[in-house]
């Protein structure tokens, strides 16, 4: 087993423990882990441990029957080199595919820590200030 798959498995287990309460039955809620990792060739998207880099949204749509949105919670794990626009775009694609907004966790290069990023509702903004 490659180290990347091992780390993905470890992150998946941690994410599931965080997201799903221990008293919840496994047939009630599925957890879909989406990861944006960074490698020598750039960013690598994976969904449920499988490569989805070619077209992330199309991959989600094609595999919707594997993870029905009404029974699936999504966790988005993002590498520290992913910028906020990439994270927000990925959240948008997950929502567009019919899922609830995902919980988002940021991890560093050594993949030893996860930090949750919380998104709040948007607020009006003007560079000119209040009118």
Residue 78's Cα: distance from chain center in Å?
7
Average pLDDT over residues 88-117: 91
pLDDT (tens digit per residue) in 119-130: 888 888 888 877
* Alpha carbon distance 34, 40 (integer Å): 19
Q: Residue 8 is inside which H or E element, if any?
A: helix 3-19
Q: Which residue has the higher pLDDT, 127 or 106?
A: 106
pLDDT (tens digit per residue) in 46-84: 998 898 887 888 888 888 888 888 888 999 999 999 999
Q: What is the pTM of this model?
A: 0.74
Beta bridge partners of 38: 43
């Amino acid at each position: 087993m490659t180290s990347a798959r091992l780390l993905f498995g470890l992150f998946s287990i941690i994410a599931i423990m965080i997201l799903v309460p221990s008293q919840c039955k496994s047939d009630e809620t599925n957890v879909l882990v989406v990861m944006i990792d960074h490698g020598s060739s750039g960013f690598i998207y994976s969904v449920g441990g499988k490569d989805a880099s070619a077209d992330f949204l199309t991959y989600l749509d094609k595999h919707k029957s594997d993870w029905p949105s009404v029974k699936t919670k999504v966790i988005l794990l993002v590498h520290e080199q992913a910028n906020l626009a990439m994270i927000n775009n990925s959240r948008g694609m997950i929502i567009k595919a019919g899922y609830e907004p995902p919980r988002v966790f940021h991890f560093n290069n050594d993949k030893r820590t996860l930090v949750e990023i919380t998104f709040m509702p948007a607020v009006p903004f003007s560079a000119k200030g209040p009118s």
